[in-house]
Amino acid sequence: MASILVSVVGTITATYMFLYLLLHISQDTKEPPAIVTQIPFLNKYGLPIYTLRLPFSRIYIANDTELLPSIQAQWRAISFSVFTANTGEQLGMTKTSRETMERGLMDPDSFSISWPKYMQPAMVPGEDLDRMNKISIEAIASATKDLSANGTARVGLWQWTHDIIIRSTSKAVWGPQNPFEDEKVEEAWKIFEPGFLTLNIFPFASLLFPQILRARERIATAMVQYMRRDGPKSGSGLVRRLVEHHTRFGLPLEDIARSQIGIGFAVMSNTAPCALWMLYHIFSDERVLEDVRREVAKLVETRTEEGGGVETATNVVDLSALQSSCPVLLSTFQETLRVRTLSPGVRMLLEDAVVDDTYLLKKGNLLMMPAMVHHTSAPIWGPDANLFNHLRFKDNPRLGRTAFRGFGGGHVLCPGRFFARTEIMALAALLLLRFDVMPAGGNGSSLRRRIPRRSRASLFQITISRWSFDLEDQRI
Ligand code: HEM
């Protein structure tokens, strides 16, 4: 018995010593300090950048905002494109197309680095963007009109926001032949969207989770039809430019159609949770609600028309003036992104890189720039960094310029930021003007100003998905 005990203790001690030495020997002195203490692979915080040691790999965590410019400047070696390049398999693309996507990941002219830049002209302020915004706002306006026909409507906050963003965004992106108009495709998206990560993580996921693959194939079939029927011709500039780009790189029609599923993530998967949180922060705090409603109400104009001896008055709102005339609403949007973004800012080291002339990051490992850390830094945001302050950005528009990561930064700056901002602000404005919104069966004061506990979901966290709320027609 005693000898068994001795050998067990001996084995544990030897393993511990081996791991401890392994960690120390393989850690270069120029690398960010590893957060190893007495117990290997456990955590310690408070450093500008540190190394998280995992078996056979490392993750560097950049906490200090001052390091971000140096990291961003080395975007070729510290790569984001590697992740989009590797989605071909999960989207069911052919080997040849996958190889095209994975080639030359440090070359700006390669497929995976060039497509986000190629789409940009369609997403910056201009004709193409105006057209997308107009279509999405019209779709939102029509959905809120349908709701108001019922007087009071009870809806699940997350479900409703998610559905409305899928419908308005997909219409704006894919145009009159939008594949998501088909309910079955929309349902398939709701299975594939959360299932995509599962396909990435689990080996044999296609065998273990056939329903996710079936959902993907349903969307893919609809996208192929869309391409065959010349859908992009009447779609957005975004779709047209992407199709043009992918065709130049020789992707066959079927794979271009599958790449559109990937675009679905970019355009819808961050917008919907952001919209949800914007609504939550507005309608859960009377002060925010009052401030933004007062501001948005100024955009309403009453027009009277005479017909058949009867005078009718119509309230008209110019939503194109939202950005320029509603600084409080804009600030509320930015603050929502600040407190709710979960963006981990993950990058892969394709080569060794030295950050800020000090820290050596070794090829083959991951780097993270967690937005949650940068967005809650008290030296940057002040002592109330953990509180939601809807006036924060209005009072100081230049606040946290580098630290604000709501739309990424540097070479990986979100090209969809103008579209998403307008769409979400318009959704909030239309709800503010048309409805009183309150939690089902309660009153607004039961929703607190405090930021609720966090959980996982896309770039944002969703902890209130089972909430319902009553929308009461205001008939302004
Ligand atoms: C509220 C909605 C949105 C949010 C919060 C958001 C957020 C972000 C963030 C944080 C990044 C950088 C990721 C990183 O640094 O690791 C990013 C990149 C990107 N976003 Fe968005 N996004 C939104 C909507 C959109 C839309 C509507 C599009 C449609 C075009 C889009 C397309 C992209 C693309 C293509 C990239 C990669 C850019 C590149 O590789 O250069 N996003 N987005």
Instruction: Tell me the pLDDT band of 450, cut-offs 50, 70 and 90.
Output: very low
pLDDT at 439: 75
Report CA(439)–ligand 1 centroid distance (Å): 31
Q: How far is CA 64 from the centre of its chain?
A: 22
Distance (Å, whole) CA 129 – CA 419: 7
Phi, psi of 305 (to 5 degrees): -130, 145
Q: What percent of the chain has pLDDT over 90?
A: 64
Any atom of ligand 1 within 6 Å of the Cβ of 278: no
Report CA(476)–ligand 1 centroid distance (Å): 36
Comparing 34-38, 164-168, 178-182, 296-300, the range with the smallest average pLDDT is 34-38
The two tokens of residue 452 are: 């609720």
Contact 105, 81 (CB under 8 A): yes
∠ CA 292-293-298 to the nearest 5 degrees?
A: 100
Report CA(267)–ligand 1 centroid distance (Å): 8
Report CA(148)–ligand 1 centroid distance (Å): 33
Secondary element (H or E) of residue 290 = helix 286-297
Secondary element (H or E) of residue 69 = helix 68-73
pLDDT digits (tens, 9 = 90+) for 385-421: 999 999 999 988 888 788 999 999 999 999 999 999 9
In the chain, the domains with their CATH numbers are: 1-63 (no CATH), 64-358+367-473 (1.10.630.10)
Binning the chain into helix, strand and coil, the percentages to the nearest 5 are 55, 15, 30
∠ CA 343-347-348 to the nearest 5 degrees?
A: 155
Query: 248: number of CA atoms within 13 Å, CB side?
Result: 13
Atom number, ligand 1, closest to the C-alpha of residue 117: 41
Any atom of ligand 1 within 6 Å of the Cβ of 266: yes
∠ CA 4-10-16 to the nearest 5 degrees?
A: 140
Any atom of ligand 1 within 6 Å of the Cβ of 415: yes
Atom number, ligand 1, closest to the C-alpha of residue 459: 5
Phi, psi of 405 (to 5 degrees): -115, 20
Report CA(443)–ligand 1 centroid distance (Å): 35
Contact 432, 282 (CB under 8 A): yes
Any atom of ligand 1 within 6 Å of the Cβ of 416: yes
Any atom of ligand 1 within 6 Å of the Cβ of 197: no
Any atom of ligand 1 within 6 Å of the Cβ of 408: yes
Contact 113, 105 (CB under 8 A): yes
Residue ID of nearest Cα to ligand 1 atom 42: 416
Distance (Å, whole) CA 380 – CA 399: 8
Residue ID of nearest Cα to ligand 1 atom 25: 416
pLDDT digits (tens, 9 = 90+) for 54-78: 878 899 999 999 999 999 999 999 9
